[in-house]
Chains A and B, each alone.
Chain A
Amino acid sequence: MASAAPALIRVRGLRHTYQHGTPQAVPALHGIDLDVFPGECVAIVGGNGSGKSTLARHLNALLIPTDGDVVVDGLNTRDADAVWEVRGRVGMIFEQPDDQIVAAVVEEDVAFGCENLGVPSAEIRARVDAALRTVDLEAVRRRPPHLLSGGQKQRVAIAGVLAMRPRCLVLDEATSMLDPHGQREVMETALALCRDEGLTLVLITHAMEEAALADRIVVLAEGRVVLEGTPADVFAREDALRALRLEPPEVTQLGRRLADAGCSLPPALLTVEALVDAVAALRGGGAAVRRRPSGAGRRAGRTRPRAAGPMLRCDGVSYVYQRGTPLEAAALVDVSVEIRPGEIVGLIGASGSGKSTLAQHLNGLLRPTRGRVYLDDVDIQAKEVDRRRVHQEIGLLFQYPEHQLFEETVSQDVAFGPRNLGIDEAAIRERVDRALVQVGLDPVVFGPRSPFTLSNGEKRRAALAGLLAMEPRVLILDEPTAGLDPQGRREILDHVVRLRDARGLTIVLISHSMDAVARLCERLIVMDRGRVVADGPIREVFSDPDRLVALGLGLPQVAQCARLLRGRGLPVRRDVLTVGEARGAILDALALERAGG
């Protein structure tokens, strides 16, 4: 690496306190030392509140140190005259794709930074053309940005920074709001810039699969650097990471567990390809493999006998958006599905496949253009049916539900639903407290607080409590983990499982995070362009991984490993969902092959 060259960004003794010198002072960084060398890719990881975004904002002088120095390309960010120079050299991409695009036409947004720098008109045109070519968005240059996908919007933002000819690009959680396809799009674009054009890359992330692609990882916790090294070094310290509520990528965990079982694998495998190569190299080798019973069948105990009849049923539902206009588009095409009481169903599909539209039909918010939706065999769109009761019985938690919070206190917000149902105050209070407890928010502590002072994970759980207080029988969760860090994700999923077990709630989980679905669901419904293309037990659906990939769905890393190993002729079971299962399946396959050969 380029460590012999002088650092492009030098951070020394950086401290930062928000509202410094006031009684509300919040210390965020406590003495950070960091060097970023030209052309390298550094990942800065840490949970929410670790200070990583604050650090990012120091790298291009959006914040000025309370103490210590940040020097970019020889320019100290404290020097007020150098601020614009610094920001021109270090470009920044933020988390929210929508909130960083200024202009109403793609190419004009890409030009915005250059215009601010005072670049002559003809030169801007040339730079914008080149930048759009680099991120492969020439085809949409005259579109309004709101018609683009999330991944495309982030690429527009990257192009806007590139046109300013920076030396370093900082991605501040730039993929956390995107679907798997968009995440890949953005990461591939950024990494290609680093590898091919020598652009220095700083990834601020909580996605360990992304960090694994960096040259170097810096782990932050509570405003301090706690671990630093190559991805292999950092991920080898699994216990230290877990103590920080982080964990190595699945594939690294799988490699470690296979090694523990006696396979002679290189330490810290970082990518699916690396693991597949390493395992393939084992074949025919004589390593003694200690076998333990694999995890197969362990899940069988979790499925419970249940009443046979469906509770919620869609029968031939079609839906057309903006009927009768030139923008008419079929969102659902002849969809028939059944939801049975007490089950956890995953509803998966690429963005735009119709998942959210289907969800809004299931609770009566949208009226089918054709077909019917039945709850307990009653058509929920029938005239005599009280729609409000349908909304109450089938709770729908929208994406980013924290954006619907509006009351002064958490308790009042949670009480909004039951109050609309006309329940008396004493019963409401009881329901509110119960709902808050169910999502792990102490009513005494959180009840009187303003919802806007909560952390993102807490806000989302408060919004969930708002639905629970209506005491629904079915809960439909639309991407409940989107944009949360691993800790927040785990918390909300744990609560969902507990709700099912404790209250017998029926749950429909809409997600493009295959990991979440694999952890929770027993049955999967797969959608593609408005149609249901698969519906069955999760193992059955996952046993055709090629099809899922073709539908634009990301497989969990361990499932990818199993699929690729099968491609190399190793007889690994098709339906592996977790690290434990993958370990068992690979060991079984290796043993089988050895016995056979």
Chain B
Amino acid sequence: MDLLRGLSFGQYLPVDSPVHRLDPRTKILATIVLIAVVFATRSAAGLAWLTVVLGAVLLAARIPLGYALRGLRPVFWLVGIAVVFQVLFGEGGGHPLFQRGPLVITRENLDLGLFYGYRLLLLVASTSLMTFTTSPVEMTDGLERLLRPLQRVGVSTHEFALMMTIALRFIPTLVEEADKIMKAQIARGAEFSRGSPMRRAKAFLPLLVPLFIGAFRRAEALALAMEARCYRGGEHRTRMKELHFAPRDWVAGALLAAAAVVALGPARWWQ
């Protein structure tokens, strides 16, 4: 059993490192910039340089390489499929490396396939670096602050942030509850994994109904507890944790800008 117990949320690795200490906004913006740079890079040398950059950040963040690669495991499949597609169905022409019947593998297509595949891998690695080093709570805070200007056009960023916070808070609680209800129903002879899809869907009712009722009960209790603590929406509200850019955030930004110029620069100069 314990199907749900192993489920972890995000891949945040709580260690103390210069990367972890960065303002979440810095990390969110840096990730966006990195993604753009990875897309804009046209040369293999550029990608190699970015690999070095990501490796350096990984090192600075004190994330074990094994942990990082484990996180990328599902992506390797995707990369493999992308490479195969490019190689098999890429444009004709070029230097054939291998030929049998209608199947032609050219050097150009293989290069291109590897290039695209590797780029995909770097994209995922860049975002993973953010989730490895930023807790979901910090991410929510950062997003709220970054989106705050939208308040002026009527988007309620406070409610959005509160919703995210409460979701983060209750996911483990509800997972635990689901596990318990599931076991309780199995103890009453229920089976969740046998029979036709229709039967299986029906078998989940004894899990879902109590889970939903429980969630509503919690929602009501939580709303009352929030009211008791004077919650009345986002107006007049202050925050204990105000985000402040520190010198290290500026340094990180400058380093990233330099790395981006190097990644993009040579591609143009060397062509």
> Distance (Å) between the CB of B210 and the closest chain A CB?
5
Among A117, A321, A421, the one with the most B-chain Cβ atoms within 10 Å of its Cβ is A117
> Distance (Å) between the CB of B182 and the closest chain A CB?
10
Known: A398-B183, A404-B181. A87 touches B214 (CB 8 A): no
Determine if B168 and A121 form an interchain contact, defined as CB atoms under 8 angstroms apart.
no
* B226 touches A (CB below 8 Å): yes
Residues of A within 8 A of B206 (CB): 404, 406, 416
Determine if A398 and B6 form an interchain contact, defined as CB atoms under 8 angstroms apart.
no
* Interface 1/0 per residue, A389-403 and B, CB below 8 Å: 001100110110101
> Distance (Å) between the CB of B215 and the closest chain A CB?
11
* B186 touches A (CB below 8 Å): yes
* B248 touches A (CB below 8 Å): no
Determine if B240 and A124 form an interchain contact, defined as CB atoms under 8 angstroms apart.
yes
Other-chain residue from B5, B185, B241 in contact with A404 (beta carbon distance below 8 A) = B185
Determine if A104 and B189 form an interchain contact, defined as CB atoms under 8 angstroms apart.
no
* B261 touches A (CB below 8 Å): no
* Interface 1/0 per residue, B175-209 and A, CB below 8 Å: 01100110111111111000000000000011001
* A228 touches B (CB below 8 Å): no
- Those of A15-62 within 8 Å (CB) of chain B: 60, 62
Determine if B172 and A406 form an interchain contact, defined as CB atoms under 8 angstroms apart.
no
Determine if A392 and B228 form an interchain contact, defined as CB atoms under 8 angstroms apart.
no
* B236 touches A (CB below 8 Å): yes
Among B168, B188, B189, the one with the most A-chain Cβ atoms within 10 Å of its Cβ is B188
* A145 touches B (CB below 8 Å): yes
Residues of B within 8 A of A467 (CB): 187-188
> Distance (Å) between the CB of A90 and the closest chain B CB?
9
Determine if B238 and A391 form an interchain contact, defined as CB atoms under 8 angstroms apart.
no
* B148 touches A (CB below 8 Å): no
* A549 touches B (CB below 8 Å): no
Residues of B within 8 A of A114 (CB): 238, 240
Residue of B nearest to A105 (CB): B137
* B95 touches A (CB below 8 Å): no
* A192 touches B (CB below 8 Å): no
Residues of A within 8 A of B181 (CB): 403-404
Determine if A87 and B6 form an interchain contact, defined as CB atoms under 8 angstroms apart.
no
Known: A87-B230, A406-B205. A101 touches B210 (CB 8 A): no
- Those of A43-98 within 8 Å (CB) of chain B: 60, 62, 84, 87-88, 91-92, 94, 96, 98
- Those of B143-188 within 8 Å (CB) of chain A: 165-166, 168-169, 172-173, 176-177, 180-181, 183-188
Bound Cα distance from A425 to B184, whole angstroms: 23
Residues of B within 8 A of A164 (CB): 229-230
Residue of A nearest to B167 (CB): A104
Query: How would you classify the secondary structure of chain A's contact residues: helix, strand, loop or mixed?
Result: helix
User: Which of A206-214, A232-240, A360-368, A483-491 has 4 or more CB atoms under 8 Å from chain B?
Assistant: A360-368
* B239 touches A (CB below 8 Å): yes
Among A102, A363, A392, A405, the one with the most B-chain Cβ atoms within 10 Å of its Cβ is A102
* A128 touches B (CB below 8 Å): yes
Bound Cα distance from A144 to B242, whole angstroms: 20
* B231 touches A (CB below 8 Å): yes
Among B1, B165, B228, the one with the most A-chain Cβ atoms within 10 Å of its Cβ is B228
* A138 touches B (CB below 8 Å): no
Determine if B172 and A62 form an interchain contact, defined as CB atoms under 8 angstroms apart.
no
Residues of A within 8 A of B214 (CB): 403
Residues of A within 8 A of B6 (CB): 322, 325
Determine if B184 and A101 form an interchain contact, defined as CB atoms under 8 angstroms apart.
no
* B222 touches A (CB below 8 Å): yes
Determine if B187 and A84 form an interchain contact, defined as CB atoms under 8 angstroms apart.
no
Determine if B227 and A87 form an interchain contact, defined as CB atoms under 8 angstroms apart.
yes
Determine if B240 and A102 form an interchain contact, defined as CB atoms under 8 angstroms apart.
no
Residues of B within 8 A of A145 (CB): 169
Bound Cα distance from A325 to B5, whole angstroms: 11
> Distance (Å) between the CB of A157 and the closest chain B CB?
8
Known: A104-B136, A398-B183, A466-B188. A404 touches B238 (CB 8 A): no
Residues of A within 8 A of B166 (CB): 102
Question: Sorted from nearest, which 8 A-B pairs have the closest CB atoms?
Answer: A420-B189, A100-B225, A99-B221, A406-B209, A111-B240, A113-B229, A417-B188, A124-B240
In the complex, given contacts A101-B169, A111-B240, A391-B188, what are 17 additional A-B residue pairs having Cβ atoms less than 8 angstroms apart? A92-B225, A94-B225, A112-B226, A112-B231, A114-B240, A121-B242, A124-B239, A125-B240, A128-B240, A160-B229, A321-B2, A388-B189, A398-B180, A404-B181, A404-B184, A420-B189, A452-B213
